[in-house]
Amino acid sequence: MTQIVTLKQRIGYAATASLTIIALLALAACSPAPSGLSQLHDYQQRVANTLARDAISYQPQPPQQIPATRELRLTIPQLQISLLDSMRLDACRAGTLIAERNSSLGRLTSGVMRYYHDRQLLDALYDCAEQLKTSEPELAQRVLEQAKAKQTMMPLLRMQAIISDDSLSNALSTADRALPAAEGANFAPILQALNVVLKVLNNESELPAENQLEQALEALDKSPYLGQLWRALFDNQQYLQQLNPLVLNISAEAGCLSKGVPERARVLRQVFIARFSGPVQQHISALVRHAQQLDDYFEALYAGSELLQTQPALVTWNDYLQHLATLDDQLVTETRNHVEYWQQLFTDCEFTPGA
């Protein structure tokens, strides 16, 4: 028996269906954004809602990780000053530094701080050789030979300092969550700390005060900012890439491939202007600007070609630094690719840019 549905019932069913759709759209709009991706998440859900499509579920991808120190182990020859000679260096500053290096605390010193002491010791050895040249010429000659031997090792010691430093490792490691927003107030102290570290790593620069280096290393060790910046660059690029299916045929889905400009196309234009050209691109531009300011710092951390010949394990280190250094370029490229779909929509719908 066929059931008779009254007009009142039909209206009731339609109202119920409309409320269901509205509720589903509201749920989609309110779904939590992935960490550090709120701008893109809001934008893509508005596009999906306008197209009456399901929002794309972002699938986080694992970023490349910094090489473990054990994978980068370097072969460094040991220099030895005889106990008798070291005792005779008490009159020199080098004697004090050697004693400090051989103490239990000195043996634990590593990374950039150890290289700081290496530079101090090298200068002290040359000074000591000059100081003893008249009173003890034979000892002075042995000290000078030690200084020259250490001088040839400095590039290797410098690289060992870079790859083994816990503070630099923290700054160069990709965090488990993306930076919510690029903030100059949090970024400036990081740049200041890196400037101090690079002074130590640059043999032509005067050494900063030791407490200044300690503060700089502590700042890099405690701050999650750079790690979250790398993750933000990576995650935003991945998110944009995963959005491509949503906008791949946006002109057709907006109805702009037939005569007239439907209301859906006008709404999409407003979504792009208000949500992508505004918050999304501002967020991405700020991340990219911060990354670009770090280019010069990266240059100082690469292993040189001569070191790579004798220490091939450092190729992995250079590859990782190159990966970090190109994250901003990859994000810019992906952003441009995404905008091209919208440029096609503006052309097909005969929208005037900025109108």
DSSP per position, 236-251: HHHHHHHHHHHHTTHH
CA atoms of 310 and 161, how far apart (whole Å): 17
Strand ranges for 122-162 from DSSP E: none
Task: Show Cβ contacts of residue 204 under 8 Å, excluding neighbours closer than 6 positions.
Answer: none
Task: Show Cβ contacts of residue 307 under 8 Å, excluding neighbours closer than 6 positions.
Answer: 155, 156, 159, 314
CA atoms of 91 and 159, how far apart (whole Å): 32
Q: Could you tell me the CA-to-CA distances from 17 to 12, 212, 306 in Å, in that order?
A: 9, 67, 71
Question: pTM of the predicted model, to two decimals?
Answer: 0.86
Question: How many Å is the Cα radius of gyration of the chain?
Answer: 31
Task: Provide the token pair at 334.
Answer: 């992906």
Note the residue count of the chain.
Answer: 355
Nearest to 231 by CA among 289, 179, 283, 298: 179
3 state DSSP class of 290: helix
Torsion of CA 163, 165, 168, 173, to 10 degrees: 70
CA atoms of 20 and 33, how far apart (whole Å): 23
Question: For the stretch 204-218, what's the b/e string if a residue is b when 16 or more beta carbons lie within 10 angstroms of its beta carbon?
Answer: eeebbeeeebebbbe
Q: Is the dihedral of CA 115, 121, 125, 131 positive or negative?
A: positive
| pLDDT tens, N- to C-terminus, the chain (355 residues) | 334 434 334 334 334 334 333 433 444 445 677 888 999 999 999 999 999 999 999 999 999 999 998 899 888 887 777 655 666 788 889 888 988 888 888 888 899 999 999 999 999 999 999 999 999 999 899 999 999 999 999 999 999 999 999 999 999 999 999 999 999 999 999 999 999 999 999 999 999 999 999 999 999 999 999 999 999 999 999 999 999 999 999 999 999 887 767 899 999 999 999 999 999 999 999 999 999 999 999 999 999 999 999 999 999 999 999 999 999 999 999 999 999 999 999 999 998 765 5
Q: Is the dihedral of CA 22, 25, 29, 34 positive or negative?
A: positive
CA atoms of 126 and 132, how far apart (whole Å): 10
Chain centroid offset of residue 295 CA? 11
Tokens 């007009």 sit at which residue? 7
∠203-208-212 over CA atoms, to 5°?
140
Please give the DSSP secondary-structure letter assigned to residue 326. Answer: T
Torsion of CA 36, 37, 38, 39, to 10 degrees: 120
